[in-house]
Amino acid sequence: MASKEVELRGHIIDSYILPRVWGAIEDAGARFNVREMRIGQSETETSYTRIEVVADSAEQLDELIGELQRLGALPVTERDAQTAPVTQTGVLPDDFYSTTNQPTQVRVGGRWVAVEQIEMDVAIVVERAAGRAYTRPMHDVRVGDEVVVGYEGVRVEPLERPRRREAFAFMQSAVSSERAKALAIHSVAEAMREARSHGGRILFVLGPAIVHTAAREHVAALIRRGYVQVIFGGNAIIAHDVEAALFGTSLGIDLNTGEPVEHGHRNHLRAINAVRAAGSLAAAREQGLLGDGIVATALEHGVELVLAGSIRDDGPMPGVITDSMAAQAAMRQAVRGVEVAVLAASMLHAIATGNLLPAAVKSVVVDINPAVVTKLADRGTGQALGLVTDVELFLRALADELAE
């Protein structure tokens, strides 16, 4: 038998934090006793509770306390986070703490320090002398790095349910295609406008269906209006964007008639080949190969392009990062400062990006296939607003909303 006291503070009831904590305790087969409880007497006051958690063994208790901390509970007796040194490059200490994507602090030298560059499923490295803590993916840790182990001295601030209806208040809602989309699109536009007003970055993750459905003009318009600072994509969208510029087709389908053109299947290879001959996307643009598509407009407006390769790629296009870890690192770097993320018609890149984004980034996942949105949610990007709709419609309406 082992026990420990934890505390919770904030809008812990209506944000489902306390219910989740109790549920986790029960699910673990442990017990609890409420030692203190101060309920906010109205919707503007916060609540406080102190709970004794009782488990069968110290080991089970430890596991459970760690789980509760991820939900926002905090041990009453505060201790510094424990660390262990990395002894093998790219390998973490056994009991390493694995992050969530929510704002996280670690206690270093008696002070709570915010973990820099928070993202999901990575380790926390502590520099005691500098009083700093930051995330680092497994393969990047070096011998000597001090990595947080166990759960003590770590605290997570779960996102609270917003007090009032807000732009992204419907974020948690179930995935459904049977909803009026205009409202959601309006909210996304608002969030983008807000981000731009103070220089926040906006990220677009784009799949090739954007070009197949003839929506590249809408993306270009958004770029021209200053609403896109970063684009993540793969070889395919770039190949099809150039194919559309050179031949007016996408995967061989004429974008003006919707009919396959003769030999069209070859056009995306010819497009890739042409850019390879030019040497780079920038050189291809100078030679006038890119027309007015997504890439051309992005290059013209200094949008950061992070292109990641995959095993199904033809070519690939110059500029595509073929090493997946290098590409991930470039994406990790590029999400810094991103406040709004639009993940459109892309599964692989959307999931990869979802893994890198802090929970506080306002994200919207747009796909005509509900399974894609469900999949993202299954993998932890639960904060994203999911829209099951035609991506062409979505981008056109978004560009219209942001036209003036």
Among 5, 7, 10, 67, binds its own copies (CB under 8 A): 67
**Phi, psi of 13, rounded to the nearest 5 degrees:** -90, -55
Q: How far is the CB of 190 from its own copies (least distance, A)?
A: 13
The least distance separating its own copies from the CB of residue 130, rounded to whole angstroms, comes to 26
| Pick 226 or 260: Cβ nearer its own copies | 260
* Neighbouring C-alpha atoms within 13 Å toward the C-beta of 55: 18
CA 34 to mean position of chain CA atoms:
36
> CA-CA distance, 177 to 350, in Å (whole number)?
19
The verdict on 324 binding its own copies (CB under 8 A) reads: yes
Choose between 14 and 304: whose C-beta lies nearer to its own copies.
14
Residue 58 as a binder of its own copies (CB under 8 A): the answer is no
Smaller CB separation from its own copies, 337 or 380: 380
Distance between CA atoms of 117 and 123, rounded to whole angstroms? Answer: 11
Would you say 196 or 361 has its CB closer to its own copies? 361
Among 56, 58, 79, 273, contact with its own copies (rule: CB under 8 A):
273
Does residue 395 bind its own copies (CB under 8 A)? no
Site for its own copies in 101-160 (CB under 8 A): 121, 137-139
Q: How far is CA 46 from CA 12, 52, 163, 313, 374, in A?
A: 8, 20, 11, 53, 33
The residue among 2, 64, 4 whose CA lies nearest residue 29 is 64
What's the rounded Cα separation, in Å, for the pair 73 and 9?
A: 8
- We find the least distance from the C-beta atom of residue 194 to its own copies, in angstroms, to be 19
What count of other Cβ atoms lies within 10 Å of the Cβ of residue 79?
11
179 sits near its own copies (criterion: CB under 8 A): yes
Helix (H, G, I), strand (E, B) or coil at 306: strand
Window 23-42: residues binding its own copies (CB under 8 A):
23-28, 31-34, 37, 39-42
Whichever of 297 and 328 has its CB closer to its own copies, that residue is 328
User: Does the protein bind its own copies through residue 176 (CB under 8 A)?
Assistant: yes
The number of residues that bind its own copies (CB under 8 A) is: 111
| One of 160, 200, 380, 401 touching its own copies (CB under 8 A) | 380
**Which of 2, 322, 337, 360 forms a contact with its own copies (CB under 8 A)?**
322
Of 2-10, 219-227, 288-296, 319-327, the window that binds its own copies (rule: CB under 8 A) is 319-327
Residue 199, token pair as written in the block? 């220089």
- Residue 376 to residue 404: CA distance in whole angstroms: 33
Q: Contact with its own copies (CB under 8 A): which of 149, 154, 271, 308? A: 308
Torsional sign, CA 13, 17, 21, 26:
positive
Longest dimension (CA), the chain: 76
In the complex, the smallest distance separating the C-beta of residue 202 from its own copies, rounded to whole angstroms, is 20
Given the complex with its own copies, which of 26 and 286 has the nearer CB atom? 26
Quickly count: other Cβ atoms within 10 Å of residue 34's Cβ.
11
114 close to 134: Cβ distance less than 8 angstroms: no
Nearer to its own copies, 196 or 247 (CB): 247
Binding residues among 199-238 for its own copies as defined by CB under 8 A? 209, 212-214
* 182 sits in which H/E element: helix 181-197
Binding positions for its own copies, 278-297, rule CB under 8 A: none
Q: Which residue has the tokens 């997570």?
A: 156
